[in-house]
Amino acid sequence: MDAQTEAAYDGNTMAGPLSEVFAVEVTTAVGRCHGCGTSSQLATFRVYGPDPGFVGRCPGCESVLVRLVRTPDALWLDLSGMSGLRIPMAADAAAE
């Protein structure tokens, strides 16, 4: 699928699969695009999917930021399009 095709979904739709592996709600995290430097919430990524997997692209430049494929015995997660993730944490998280 090329970036010219309109993404049918956004990062909100990846919240379920991501909740299998992340201990916190991660669609509110802000990812920085390795390509153009745009920072955006995962929820706002342009997402293609859900089958056979999800591809999330940068709202700024359409670079691929995340790929996620769930197979019966594994979850494949490629975050190489991002140079960082800022994950909001409750202020008391360190104490728990």
Q: Is 95 in the site for other proteins (CB under 8 A)?
A: no
The answer to whether the beta carbons of residues 65 and 56 sit under 8 Å apart is: yes
The residue from 43, 58, 66, 68 that contacts other proteins (CB under 8 A) is: 43
The residue from 7, 77, 85, 87 that contacts other proteins (CB under 8 A) is: 7
Least distance from other proteins to the Cβ atom of residue 46, Å: 8
The answer to whether the beta carbons of residues 17 and 69 sit under 8 Å apart is: no
Least distance from other proteins to the Cβ atom of residue 27, Å: 5
Cα angle 36, 15, 43; round to 5: 35
